[in-house]
Structure 1
Amino acid sequence: MALALYRKYRPATFAEVVGQEHVTEPLRTALAAGRINHAYLFSGPRGCGKTSSARIMARSLNCAKGPTPDPCGECNSCRALAPEGPGSVDVTELDAASHGGVDDARELRDKAFYAPAESRYRVFIIDEAHMVTTQGFNALLKIVEEPPEHLIFIFATTEPDKVLTTIRSRTHHYPFRLIPPSSMRELLERNVAAEGATVEPAVYPLVIRAGGGSARDTQSVLDQLLAGAGPEGVTYPRAVALLGVTDTALIDAVIDGLANDNPAEVFGTVEKLADAGHDPRRFATDLLDRLRDLLLMRAVPDAGERGLVAAPDDELKRMAEQAEKLGPATLSRYADIVHSGLLEMRGATSPRLVLELLCARMLLPSVTEAEKALLARIERLERRPAGAPAPAGPAAGSAPATAPAPAASAVPAEAPTRFQRPSQRPAQEAPAAPARPAADEPARPARPEVSRPAAAEPPAPAAAAPAPEPSPAPAAEEAPAAGGIDAAALREKWPQLLASLRKFTGGRALEAMLTQATVAEVDGSAVTLTHKSEPLARRLSDQGNASKIAAGLSEVLGGEWQVRCVHGAAPAAAPARQAPRQQAAAPAPERSFTRPSAAAQAPAAAAPPPKPAPEAPSRPRVTTSEPDIPLPPEPTDEDDDIYSEDSSPVPPPPPPPAEEDPEQIARKLLSDHLGARPLD
């Protein structure tokens, strides 16, 4: 029976250990200096030389010329501990996978106290030390901590984290690593030369890749190829068929098809792959390795010479040409797609379908240029100032962006079509007293009073900007507010308005009330809100809340604003019924509560004759957004002349007696009329 290559060519000294110089050099130095510890821990992947190094350590300790880093190989101990030797009675090798219990640990502890028979040290090599149970480690803990002078422990494991911490802290830990491809190839070529076999150069990368950096696994693969080789030796086709790896021609065909944007070649290669019986998962893995090599070839032109890419010279030349066709961004995108496809193939019922899908994704054009254009457009939109009109929007040219907010709210006196607040009415309807600027005027007076002007004055020109020429067009066709803000645009800015109100005292309550409010109309700088709750609509219409909302609008949109809130889901009144109201001789201020719409919108013929009452105060005009529902005359309404739509002058009621509070009388009358106590 032939001896396996990994056993036949097992290293006998530290100098023969391949790819572990970071471990062997310190051990050789310690042995030469005589600084020997009582316990060692060798950890690392399988087949990287842990157990072989433990045997070399025992051989170096018990050599007749030792302890020495280079055993003589002539003494009895060296011959007994050679790779093909029978072993020594003073060196005990224990497999913890099958002897890791507490009883095995106690038996080992009892044997440890005996002195060596013929060697200098008694060495215990415990392989797969992570398989020892916690009770077994606890049984060995005391002797590992304070062993006799002749006792040395060497633990070998692939999982050092599973070794008991108290054991690991009492050892010298030497981590082993996977063997690099360059060192592995030197080892394989040396073994092949010793065997006198012939192996094609293209076979070595396949064997090294199949071994995965493990010397034992790699030598086992090479041993399998040598056992099945013919008179011509190990050929590349035989190695590809035996190892199950993907043929390089198939990978080259896929890469060329992707570079030339040829879907027929790509999917035709997948068909050939399936016909040959190759595993789609293995093909995807090999394709990802090729993409990695191409990325390195693109980044480092001399990657092949420096050993970063292991491939024959002809294949390196072909890979350099492929790397030139595909840029680094494209190669990186292909690698990401293949990597994601490999994750999707885990547990997939049809790996070929997943492979074809990832090929289709790689054939899609790159969206890098489109992404750049989209990002540039987003940056232009972000640089646009807040509230600025869109460049090509319909409202961009309807009104000048530099017009001030008060000038935009001016309405010609010849064609009034909607109800206006006193601060928004034309000059001929203004009271005799001089009007304050819009910025200083409150949104709603606290105690509204009805006053009539002494005489109408002609319209005066605007101070900030020249007044627009009178136009017969209705007010509904006028330009929106300054900056192109209309009701729809204000609704889009509504979350910003709510956020700006938080800085005011009581802003949280105001923000909560405005969450159910809706922007009904924006006329110039006047904003009409609607609220489905009548008490909250009255609260929003009072002077304090209205001024805060106007300040919030000024902060978000700029300019000066005037705000009112009505009950309902529509504007306060239709244009057809607002024209007679504009012709009244005296303006009627608004108040902070809402009356039924019938009393405010009923025609003059349906209103009862005025009934002056000495104890009743003057009542302001009520604005409402409810639909026109005719109601019967109310005998208790003593000042319906103010709510009459008739444009004829009505004498004001006499003032209340001095001994009674007018506000209490007004509240009492309103409570009797509405059947509920009004809010303050």
Structure 2
Amino acid sequence: MSSLALYRRYRPETYAEVIGQEHVTVPLQQALRNNRVNHAYLFSGPRGCGKTTSARILARCLNCERGPTPTPCGECQSCRDLARNGPGSIDVIEIDAASHGGVDDARELREKAFFGPAVSRFKIYIIDEAHMVTPAGFNALLKVVEEPPEHLKFIFATTEPEKVIGTIRSRTHHYPFRLVPPGTLRDYLHEVCEREAIAVESAVLPLVVRAGGGSVRDSMSVMDQLLAGAGPDGVTYEMATSLLGYTDGALLDDIVEAFRAGDGAAAFGVVDRVIEGGHDPRRFVTDLLERLRDLLILAAVPDAAEKGLIDVPADVLERMSAQASALGPAELSRAADLVNGGLTEMRGATSPRLQLELICARVLLPAAYGDERSLQSRLERLERGAVFQPGPGAGQGQGQGQGQGHGQGQVREQAAAPAPAAPAPVAAPEPPPVAARPQAAPEPPAPEPAPAPKAAGAWPTASRPAAAPQAAPQAAPQAGAWPTAQQAQPARPAPAPAPAPPPVAAGGGGGGGGDIGRVRQMWPDILDAVKGRRRFSWILLSQNAQIAGFDGTTLRLGFATAGARDSFVNSGSEAVLRQALSEAMGVQWRIETVIDPSGGGGGGGGMGGGAPFARPAAPQPPQAAPPPTPSHTPSPRPAQGGAPQPPPPPERSGPPQPPPVAAEDDVAAEDDPDLDDTALTGYELIVRELGATVIEEFRHE
């Protein structure tokens, strides 16, 4: 017995001893109990999983003196002849089809098959490697397999059942065998080692199972090799790794720790130890990929070892759990992809060490790549280092996509080292846009006996205040209002710039826990982002809107008129503003629009200028309706972006008065190319976008 190989000494003799094939052995035993045995069987499956052994057990069950029985007695002559160390039976013929698969061999088998058994109940042919039989040989066997005599049984065993011709397969009962599960195979090897009375470390058995690949015969051969070389201490882990060529776990721990810390010196030092130690670089990459796979499973399923998803010793499991929690799933997934791709490139490579070093360099440098997984890996490294903390209103997810993940990284960097910029003072001669400058507080308008009547053909405005001409130069224009003639007078001196108010503290201007001062500081950048996406939305915001409040999650915008607010909501500008907020600040805020007639649009509101949201609007005198105008009176339309024509004198019979000379600011606004690019005339901007209503319109024929 000691001279036999380990897989031969422990070959099963009954179906109860066959491991990992219950889906085959249980139905076969039930068929034997019911005495419903077919004349031909086909056993298929990977090598070393028990096909030929099960065929021999079936022959013992059929020819046992107490049979057919699912449990051979082991005492009769047939059972002793077919035992694992028996001489064999003349009525059970095993044929290797790899060397006897021709048509002549099939004819010879067919001629001998019709003779009855010598001493047993059945004559049984076990044809191993049946896929090696030629099509002509199968055709020669077809008739005898289809209609055999009562004493004849066929058992075909093959690893490639698809190569057995269909006419033969259709006349057999097909039983597919499978690879043995690792847990079942490990327990079986532990039992064998106890029978051999040789000490084996617990970390050795997973290596043997992995080397066997689910094949019982291959695993038994590897175990036999280790037991043969066991020393006084038995089979140790170091002996098994060196003999089987596997990478030492210490090397894998070192390379994973180098990846976690981003330590290039340590990673390339491990590569040098692998090469200098005589290890195969391809084997090292394969083992590293296996380790990364285990770490990924541990990161997703912390109790993976208890559920049988991974098979490692307890001490190794503790180290791997720490590594999985330190690296994170995004970085582990990226590293596994890179290692897997590098393993494919190493096949046939002339310099495996170079390929291994390139793999390590790619894993260590996620900043060199711009894909989504590299960005997520960089974010995980930032979070592990605890260098940056999320600012107020930061994104909720952890990088659901490339843009969102990148935006969160920007917010963390801004929150770590804020650099608030002081609001710029108002400059009187600057042309629009003025969204980034604070607005001076308006002075109360002087009372006027009666507002000047509208000129014939003047453009109606939805939000133009009916203030006195004397007060117009002192106050900022209302949101969406056209400059009046009095505002365009060059003789009027420009008011001195008022000092910008300090930024509102966190939680001001709207309540909640938001930092409205910081939002107002960022407002010019947000307007620039809006301008880059859609100029019309930029015009609406820069000339009509101001920041009315912020509570940490909702940004409240105040519009001077309902028409401006409706135009902002109905034109899709709200979505453009959300995209600009995500781009400039990396946040996803809700936008709430309200009517705030107290503060002008302009850009002052964006920088913290203007009155608070709750300040009531100053009362304005009612505006008189325009008197009827003769149809022949000319009504020149104002230039796009310029001031409307001033009201003519009361004498309506004369020719239209020429417009007054525009101020320097109006000329700059009229020639502003940004406003010309909107492709909207003043008429279209008021009527279509701001929701105004045309009361009367007279055109000069």
Q: Classify the TM-score, shorter chain.
A: 0.5 to 0.7
Distance 2:280 2:46 in 1: 27
CA shift at 1:298, angstroms? 2.6
The letter for the 1-side match of 2:157 is A
Instruction: Write the mapping of 1:331-410 to structure 2, written as runs, cut at 5 A.
Output: 331-365=332-366, 366-368=374-376, 369=379, 375-376=403-404, 389-390=531-532
CA shift at 1:112, angstroms? 1.2
**What residue in structure 2 maps to residue 235 of structure 1?**
236
The letter for the 2-side match of 1:170 is R
CA shift at 1:137, angstroms? 1.1
**What residue in structure 2 maps to residue 149 of structure 1?**
150
Distance 1:524 1:116 in 2: 108
CA shift at 1:377, angstroms? 10
CA shift at 1:461, angstroms? 4.6
Deviations 1:89-123 (A, max 9, x none): 11111111111111111111111111111111111
CA shift at 1:320, angstroms? 1.8
Residues 148 and 228 of structure 1: is their aligned pair in 2 closer, same or farther, counting only changes over 3 Å?
A: same
**What residue in structure 1 maps to residue 448 of structure 2?**
none
**What residue in structure 2 maps to residue 105 of structure 1?**
106
The letter for the 1-side match of 2:403 is L
Q: What's the C-alpha RMSD, in Å, of the aligned pairs?
A: 3.8
**What residue in structure 2 maps to residue 484 of structure 1?**
677
Distance 2:178 2:635 in 1: 95
Task: Check conservation: 2:641, 2:669, Cα contact below 8 A.
Answer: no
Task: Compare relative contact order (CA 8 Å, sep 6+) and give the higher one, 1 or 2.
Answer: 2
Distance 1:315 1:377 in 2: 34
**What residue in structure 1 maps to residue 131 of structure 2?**
130
Distance 2:339 2:232 in 1: 40
Residues 70 and 373 of structure 1: is their aligned pair in 2 closer, same or farther, counting only changes over 3 Å?
A: closer
Distance 2:190 2:401 in 1: 55
Distance 1:248 1:461 in 2: 84
Residues 484 and 235 of structure 1: is their aligned pair in 2 closer, same or farther, counting only changes over 3 Å?
A: same
Aligned to 1:297, the other structure's residue is in SS state helix
**What residue in structure 2 maps to residue 168 of structure 1?**
169
1:89 lines up with 2:90 in the alignment = yes
The letter for the 2-side match of 1:182 is G
The letter for the 2-side match of 1:484 is D
**What residue in structure 1 maps to residue 489 of structure 2?**
none
Task: Check conservation: 1:92, 1:124, Cα contact below 8 A.
Answer: yes
Residues 24 and 481 of structure 1: is their aligned pair in 2 closer, same or farther, counting only changes over 3 Å?
A: same
Rg larger in structure:
1
Distance 2:94 2:142 in 1: 18
Deviations 1:445-488 (A, max 9, x none): xxxxxxxxxxx9855457999974567899997456988346xx
Aligned to 2:532, the other structure's residue is in SS state coil
Residues 126 and 245 of structure 1: is their aligned pair in 2 closer, same or farther, counting only changes over 3 Å?
A: same
The letter for the 1-side match of 2:114 is F
Task: Check conservation: 2:186, 2:205, Cα contact below 8 A.
Answer: yes
Task: Check conservation: 1:480, 1:524, Cα contact below 8 A.
Answer: no
**What residue in structure 2 maps to residue 503 of structure 1?**
none
Deviations 1:619-651 (A, max 9, x none): xxxxxxxxxxxxxxxxxxxxxxxxxxxxxxxxx
Distance 2:667 2:64 in 1: 114
CA shift at 1:393, angstroms? 6.8
Distance 1:327 1:248 in 2: 20
Distance 2:54 2:405 in 1: 64
Distance 2:238 2:406 in 1: 55
Task: Check conservation: 2:41, 2:154, Cα contact below 8 A.
Answer: yes
Aligned to 1:286, the other structure's residue is in SS state helix
CA shift at 1:295, angstroms? 2.3
**What residue in structure 2 maps to residue 530 of structure 1?**
none
User: TM-score w.r.t. structure 1 length?
Assistant: 0.59
Task: Check conservation: 2:46, 2:177, Cα contact below 8 A.
Answer: yes
The letter for the 1-side match of 2:317 is L
CA shift at 1:358, angstroms? 1.6
CA shift at 1:169, angstroms? 1.4
Residues 332 and 483 of structure 1: is their aligned pair in 2 closer, same or farther, counting only changes over 3 Å?
A: farther
Distance 1:341 1:464 in 2: 63
CA shift at 1:195, angstroms? 2.0
Instruction: Write the mapping of 1:253-332 to structure 2, written as runs, cut at 5 A.
Output: 253-332=254-333
Residues 29 and 372 of structure 1: is their aligned pair in 2 closer, same or farther, counting only changes over 3 Å?
A: closer
Aligned to 1:367, the other structure's residue is in SS state helix
Residues 483 and 36 of structure 1: is their aligned pair in 2 closer, same or farther, counting only changes over 3 Å?
A: farther
Task: Check conservation: 2:642, 2:669, Cα contact below 8 A.
Answer: no
Distance 2:347 2:399 in 1: 32
Deviations 1:22-69 (A, max 9, x none): 111111111111110111111111001000000001111100100111
Residues 166 and 483 of structure 1: is their aligned pair in 2 closer, same or farther, counting only changes over 3 Å?
A: farther
Residues 477 and 354 of structure 1: is their aligned pair in 2 closer, same or farther, counting only changes over 3 Å?
A: farther
CA shift at 1:395, angstroms? 11
Instruction: Write the mapping of 1:171-250 to structure 2, written as runs, cut at 5 A.
Output: 171-250=172-251
Distance 1:52 1:296 in 2: 36
The letter for the 1-side match of 2:323 is Q
CA shift at 1:322, angstroms? 1.6
CA shift at 1:157, angstroms? 0.7
The letter for the 2-side match of 1:7 is R
**What residue in structure 2 maps to residue 32 of structure 1?**
33
**What residue in structure 1 maps to residue 495 of structure 2?**
none
Deviations 1:228-253 (A, max 9, x none): 22232222111111110000110011
**What residue in structure 2 maps to residue 621 of structure 1?**
none
Residues 250 and 463 of structure 1: is their aligned pair in 2 closer, same or farther, counting only changes over 3 Å?
A: closer
Task: Check conservation: 1:396, 1:484, Cα contact below 8 A.
Answer: no
Residues 59 and 202 of structure 1: is their aligned pair in 2 closer, same or farther, counting only changes over 3 Å?
A: same
Task: Check conservation: 1:137, 1:164, Cα contact below 8 A.
Answer: yes
CA shift at 1:218, angstroms? 0.7
User: TM-score w.r.t. structure 2 length?
Assistant: 0.57
**What residue in structure 1 maps to residue 591 of structure 2?**
none
CA shift at 1:397, angstroms? 5.6
Aligned to 2:25, the other structure's residue is in SS state helix
Aligned to 1:390, the other structure's residue is in SS state helix
Residues 207 and 476 of structure 1: is their aligned pair in 2 closer, same or farther, counting only changes over 3 Å?
A: same
The letter for the 2-side match of 1:297 is L
How many residues of Structure 1 are paired with residues of Structure 2 in the alignment?
A: 442
Residues 466 and 283 of structure 1: is their aligned pair in 2 closer, same or farther, counting only changes over 3 Å?
A: closer
Task: Check conservation: 1:202, 1:236, Cα contact below 8 A.
Answer: yes
CA shift at 1:310, angstroms? 1.6
CA shift at 1:185, angstroms? 1.5
The letter for the 1-side match of 2:326 is K
Deviations 1:597-623 (A, max 9, x none): xxxxxxxxxxxxxxxxxxxxxxxxxxx
Distance 2:72 2:215 in 1: 26
Distance 2:267 2:49 in 1: 39
Residues 90 and 255 of structure 1: is their aligned pair in 2 closer, same or farther, counting only changes over 3 Å?
A: same
The letter for the 2-side match of 1:200 is E
Task: Check conservation: 2:42, 2:169, Cα contact below 8 A.
Answer: yes
